[in-house]
Structure 1
Amino acid sequence: MAAVSAIFIYPIKSCRGISVLQAPLTPTGFRWDRQWLVVNYKGRAYTQRVEPKLALVEVHLPNDAFLEDWNPSETSFLAYSHFAVIKAPGMDVLKVPLREPQQNADGVSVWEWSGSALDEGDAPSKWFSDYLGKPSRLVRFNAASQTREVDPKYGPGHQIMFSDEFPYMLISQGSLDALNTVLKEPVSINRFRPNILVDGCEPFSEDLWTEIKIDNVIFQGVRLCSRCKLPSINQETGIAGPEPNETLKNIRSDTVLHPNHKQKGKIFFGQNLVWKNLAVEGKGKIIKVGDKVNILGKVSSIAEAVV
């Protein structure tokens, strides 16, 4: 039976992820996932597509932050355990309080969405401006006043923070292993930035999953994850190359997977998910490494998978 083998959180969009043993769920994704965003002087999002140096930015959160009901204390917020600690080559350590800031930043935009966010202030702004060599600010999604809807064609009623399209993304170890057998140089799972890695299933079997249950949580598979240039960026160096995207074009393109559909030149790796049973009570609002993955529904062939 398939089981969760790793869980990844990406607190700052396009910066390095964190591998955790457990993670609380929210309707917009795992808690802390893509909650922060680095923007330019116009408020437009920076991503690795244009700033690959973001791959080298490490974000560390306290272990307590991944407990189900943990919140930063109002009275002891200066404790080291109540900060996000941010590091990058050649830079001093930056500490950002996990308590939400009070300052607003208007005109923030990421892809099709624009709105206001919470501004983390001058120290993070200077840090990222110095690191990227251009005016930058660090902002946080303001869930109290803002919403960002998932494409209603695929996830009606669901929302995200600063993720690209969907709250969760799953890949199997079998799929990564199968890809690596045809690559000249194997790549790590960090090239694909999943939230959930599962093991114990056949390669690309996740393509077919339309509904899965992990512990008490039911996820709906809404569409295969189409990949941009980011997998071609080495996450240890921030340097882009042709692989694995060139190989994926040969084995995971819409031409190969859906030859009878309109071709858009896309490549696919992984399955996007939404949290289906949002009203689950008590236990079940957190998933852990080792949890079993039960397949509740699937399509019969890749030709039926939604892309």
Structure 2
Amino acid sequence: MEVISGEPIAVVSSILVYPIKSCRGISVPQCFLTPTGFRWDRQWLVVNSKGRAYTQRVEPSLALVETELPNDALLEGWKPNKCSYLVIKAPGMDELKISLTAPQEVANDVSVWEWYGSALDEGAEASKWFSNYLGKPSRLVRFNAASETRPVDPKYAAGHKVMFSDQYPFLILSQGSMDSLNTLLEEPIPINRFRPNIVVNGCEPFAEDLWREIRIDNFTFEGVKLCSRCKVPSINQETGIAGPEPNETLKQTRSDKVLRPDKKQQGKVYFGQNMVWKNNAAEEGKAKVMKIGDPVYAIKKISNVAEAAA
């Protein structure tokens, strides 16, 4: 492993937060960091009548659900009051407002992938809204951080946790990787297909594959696992309609067979790097807000993608 220091290798070009899992993200100029991800990221989840999570894999129309937060809600130290709302919009639907103060009602037997637990239920109005939109019984629930924890896979990042994210607190992707992929596609696609949290610009395509440890301004992140992709990148986030691309091209260029030919083959494709915030002692006492334009430094990196955890 190579240990590096010196000049920045990239800058943060976009920061994205997804308040409701599988719904549309919000592009923000800055955001407060927490150990489970950016503040408000995947804090809400739409579930069916049995408490099982809905995602775009089975309900692609969730891609059309927009969310808005108060501008100050992304800053350190901000606290919601009775006039603070998560605003939810979708085609053909009236606007729904969800109070950012925690609800009192509890929903038991909520599940997302491997995790089961309780969550906070956002009530009848939200349930009716999502039931009408999806055409089936639904509820909107909120992660209850006061009583629940959801650890990530200890094989890759022991001691870290998430709310309703798929696997890890942060997903980083470089604009160079996106541009490289688009040169191979007949019709270029936007980066929102891959739902990153942090987009960086200025580095070589797929440089993020090799990052074992980076620093963004004063914050240290560990690259723990290449991000294996499901069908969601094939869903047009403006229409909710799936197509063959970019997944077909990714199979040809970013599969484990191509990137990791000497490793055990799992039939996966990779795009982006999962990361955790190390939150070390040197960062204590400093403001915990990441901003667009923050410099990115490579601290440790591996020599080739075949060495990366996946």
**TM-score for both structures, normalised by structure 1:** 0.97
**Is the 1:14–1:54 contact (alpha carbons within 8 Å) kept by the matching residues of 2?**
yes
Residue 57 of structure 1 corresponds to 65
Correspondence 1:168-207 to 2 at 5 A:
168-207=170-209
SS in 2 for 1:70: coil
Specify the SS of the correspondent of 1:154. Answer: helix
Q: Deviation at 1:286?
A: 1.2
Stretches of structure 1 that go unaligned for 5 or more consecutive residues are none
Q: Does 1:44 align with 2:52?
A: yes
Q: How many pairs align?
A: 301
SS in 2 for 1:129: helix
* Per-residue deviation, 1:284: 4.1
Shift of 1:285: 1.1
2:6 aligns with none
Aligned to 2:307: 304
**What does the per-residue CA deviation read over 1:129-164, in whole Å, with 9 as the maximum and x for residues that have no partner?**
000000000000000000000000001000000000
Moved more, 273-282 or 170-179: 273-282
Stretches of structure 2 that go unaligned for 5 or more consecutive residues are 1-8
Deviations 1:190-243 (A, max 9, x none): 000000000000000000000000111100000100000000000000000000
Query: How many Å separate the matches in 2 of 1:295 and 1:283?
Result: 20
Which residue of structure 2 aligns with residue 101 of structure 1? 103
> Any idea what SS the aligned residue of 2:157 has?
coil
Q: Percent identity?
A: 70
Q: Which amino acid aligns with 1:6?
A: S
State the 4+ residue runs in structure 1 displaced beyond 6 angstroms.
Answer: none
| Distance of 2:63 and 2:212 partners within structure 1 | 31
**Closer, same or farther in 2 for the Cα pair 1:278/1:107, shift >3 Å?**
farther
Contact 1:215 1:284 in 2 (8 A): no
One-letter amino acid matched to 1:197: V
Computed over aligned residues only, the root mean square deviation of the Cα atoms, in angstroms, reads 0.7
Cα distance per residue 1:252-295 (max 9 Å; x no partner): 00000000111110000000000112543222411000000000
1:21-40 correspondence runs (5 A): 21-40=29-48
SS of the residue corresponding to residue 190 of structure 1 reads: helix
**DSSP-derived class of the 2:155 partner:** coil
CA distance in 1, matches of 2:19, 2:137: 21
Q: Name which of 269, 276, 279 aligns with 1:277.
A: 279
User: Residue type matched to 2:159 in 1?
Assistant: G
Give matches, 1:75-114, under 5 Å: 77=82, 79=83, 82-114=84-116
Q: Distance in 2 between matches of 1:120 and 1:193?
A: 25
Residues 9-24 of structure 1: pairs in structure 2 closer than 5 A: 9-24=17-32
Q: Which residue of 1 aligns with 2:4?
A: none
Shift of 1:128: 0.1
Contact 2:108 2:119 in 1 (8 A): yes
**Cα contact 2:172–2:199 (8 A) shared by 1:** yes
Deviations 1:87-133 (A, max 9, x none): 00000000000001010000000000000000000000000000000
Output the CA distance in 2 between the equivalents of 1:282 and 1:129: 44
| Distance (whole Å) between structure 1 residues aligned to residue 286 and residue 194 of structure 2 | 30
Aligned mate of 1:120, from 122, 129, 145: 122
Instruction: Give the aligned residue type for 1:189.
Output: I
Do the aligned partners of 2:19 and 2:42 also contact (CA within 8 Å) in 1? Answer: yes
One-letter amino acid of the counterpart of residue 227, structure 2: C
